[in-house]
Amino acid sequence: MGVGDQWMPEYKSFCDPVTGVRIQQLTDYKGHSHHLYFTNLGWYDSGRKVLFGSDRNNRTNLFSLDLETKKIQQLTDLEPIPPPLETEFMSTCVNPIRDEVYFWYGNKIIALDLHSLEQRALWEMPEGFMRIGPNCTADGKYVCAGIMEDLSDRIKIDLLRGYVGFKETFEAQPLSRIVCINTDGSGAKTVWEEKSWIGHINTSPTQLNLLTFCHEGPWDRVDNRIWCLDLNTQKAWMLRERESLEIVGHEYWHADGIHIGYHGKWEDGRKFFGRILYDNTEKVEVDFPYETGHIHSNDITLVVGDGNRDGKVIRLWKWNGKGYENPRILCEHRSSFHIQQVHVHPRFSPDGKKVLFTSDMSGYGNIYLVDVPDFECLPELKE
């Protein structure tokens, strides 16, 4: 199988044994498949198709799934590259203006036309650096990617499989850069540089000049987790400044492109959901019950979370005007979280009617899509 080839539908549907909601299993292959990272929108072609990465025929490639016909199309056919530059598509990003997608392959940012399937190299990172995932600006003109000093000669690093070297990389404070790459191939420029481990570069879905990035590392030790950068002025500022002993993380843009959601724990250990405007105003932080790992929402009204490694259900929290009610169970996921590619990473569809997630409940990572029913009809979580 190669570029442009069609794979037969692997689709099946079933009712969740806990809640009875209908779950669509979109892939079923004896190799891991996964949707994009929860901060990266994978829908395209006016929402009719969704992107995913998959390990097939002993290599990793990018695929597309038609949500109407359930047919799968192979979009790339790339030779495997060994770590630390191995091929992976979790950080793939879609151009919001045209059907084009961007991903790292080796030391290059590649642009892929989702219709012709033609590829072109946009930028090559300099030697002595490692990759940080890209994201595309709201006008489709730039891909903002990160690079950081390569420490693999000093530190054993395998962040995809068990966060090996995570604490040591944070302590080493590697030189990191954010690079703004023209999607027309006309060049690139460094817009931010510092001696701190940078991660999670997320462009605003509506504001052309804004992105967030994080200071990566243990949440209780970083100086401040969330930062905002103005691409026009190239000035950065702390977003939701962290107090001593607090932890904050898993930040993401709301669909309006001006608010950022996150979660964490206050100094007294109580857990909270938060939302803040990019200029540090309009901060709202409220208690929320029970644990969660990654979270996502299109706005403040309904939040989805994966329950972290110890929880085996996807849960929803609903805003009641003052805070969040006790969570309801959407469905089981039963994922192992053994490697990054099988983290659940639930996220809402753009219309908020479905949740997309990955799970290895079948033994292999596969992609699932579940309808979101009325909150009140779902069972309350009891832990």
SS3 of the chain: CCCCCEECCCCEEEECCCCCCEEEECCCCCCCEECCCCCCCCEECCCCEEEEEEEECCEEEEEEEECCCCCEEECCCCCCCCCCCCCCCCCCEECCCCCEEEEEECCEEEEEECCCCCEEEEEECCCCEEEEEEEECCCCCEEEEEEEECCCCCCCCECCCCCECHHHHHHHCCEEEEEEEECCCCCEEEEEEEECCEEEEEECCCCCCEEEEEECCCCCCCCCCEEEEECCCCEEEECCCCCCCCEEEEEEECCCCCEEEEEEECCCCCEEEEEEECCCCCCEEEECCCCCCCEECCCCCEEEECCCCCCCEEEEEEECCCCECCCEEEEECCCCCCCHHHCCCCEECCCCCEEEEEECCCCCCEEEEEECCCHHHCCECCC
In a domain, 46, yes or no: no
- In this structure, the answer to whether residues 102 and 231 fall within a common structural domain is yes
Burial of 128 per CB tally in 10 Å (0-12, 13-18, 19+): exposed
Here the CATH number for the domain that contains residue 155 is 2.130.10.10
Specify the pLDDT at position 382. Answer: 81
Specify the pLDDT at position 307. Answer: 76
Q: How many other CB atoms are there within 10 angstroms of residue 6's CB atom?
A: 12
- In this structure, the answer to whether residues 380 and 309 fall within a common structural domain is yes
In a domain, 38, yes or no: no
- In this structure, the answer to whether residues 337 and 366 fall within a common structural domain is yes
- Number of folded domains that form the chain: 2
- In this structure, the answer to whether residues 295 and 355 fall within a common structural domain is yes
- In this structure, the answer to whether residues 260 and 307 fall within a common structural domain is no
Last residue in a domain, options 227, 261, 279: 279
Q: How many other CB atoms are there within 10 angstroms of residue 108's CB atom?
A: 16
Burial of 214 per CB tally in 10 Å (0-12, 13-18, 19+): buried
Buried/exposed 293-316: b ≥16 CB within 10 Å, e otherwise: bbbbbbeeebbbbbbeeebbbbbb
Q: Could you tell me which residues come within 8 angstroms of residue 116 by beta carbon, excluding any fewer than 6 positions away?
A: none
In a domain, 368, yes or no: yes
- In this structure, the answer to whether residues 162 and 237 fall within a common structural domain is yes
- In this structure, the answer to whether residues 257 and 327 fall within a common structural domain is no
In a domain, 72, yes or no: no
Say how far apart CA 31 and CA 209 lie, in whole Å. 39
Last residue in a domain, options 228, 260, 279: 279
- In this structure, the answer to whether residues 270 and 294 fall within a common structural domain is no
- In this structure, the answer to whether residues 383 and 355 fall within a common structural domain is yes
Specify the pLDDT at position 292. Answer: 87
Say how far apart CA 317 and CA 307 lie, in whole Å. 12
One pLDDT digit (tens) per residue for the chain, 383 residues: 789 889 999 999 999 999 999 999 999 999 999 999 999 999 999 999 999 999 999 999 999 999 999 999 999 999 999 888 889 999 999 999 999 999 999 999 999 999 999 999 999 999 999 999 999 999 999 999 999 999 888 777 766 676 766 788 889 999 999 999 999 999 999 999 999 999 999 999 999 999 999 999 998 999 999 999 999 999 999 999 998 889 999 999 999 999 999 999 999 999 999 999 999 999 999 998 788 889 999 999 999 999 765 679 999 999 999 999 889 999 999 998 888 889 999 999 999 999 999 999 999 999 999 999 999 999 999 86
In a domain, 338, yes or no: yes
Q: Could you tell me which residues come within 8 angstroms of residue 35 by beta carbon, excluding any fewer than 6 positions away?
A: 42, 50, 51, 52, 345, 347, 356, 357, 358, 367
- The β-bridge partners of 262 are 274
Specify the pLDDT at position 84. Answer: 83
Specify the pLDDT at position 100. Answer: 97
pTM of this prediction? 0.94
- In this structure, the answer to whether residues 295 and 275 fall within a common structural domain is no
Say how far apart CA 39 and CA 36 lie, in whole Å. 8
Last residue in a domain, options 279, 308, 341: 279
- In this structure, the answer to whether residues 348 and 249 fall within a common structural domain is no
Domain range holding 3? Answer: 1-33+288-383
Say how far apart CA 221 and CA 243 lie, in whole Å. 11
CB 327 within 8 A of CB 307: no
CB 234 within 8 A of CB 215: no
- In this structure, the answer to whether residues 238 and 297 fall within a common structural domain is no
In a domain, 235, yes or no: yes
In a domain, 60, yes or no: no
In a domain, 52, yes or no: no
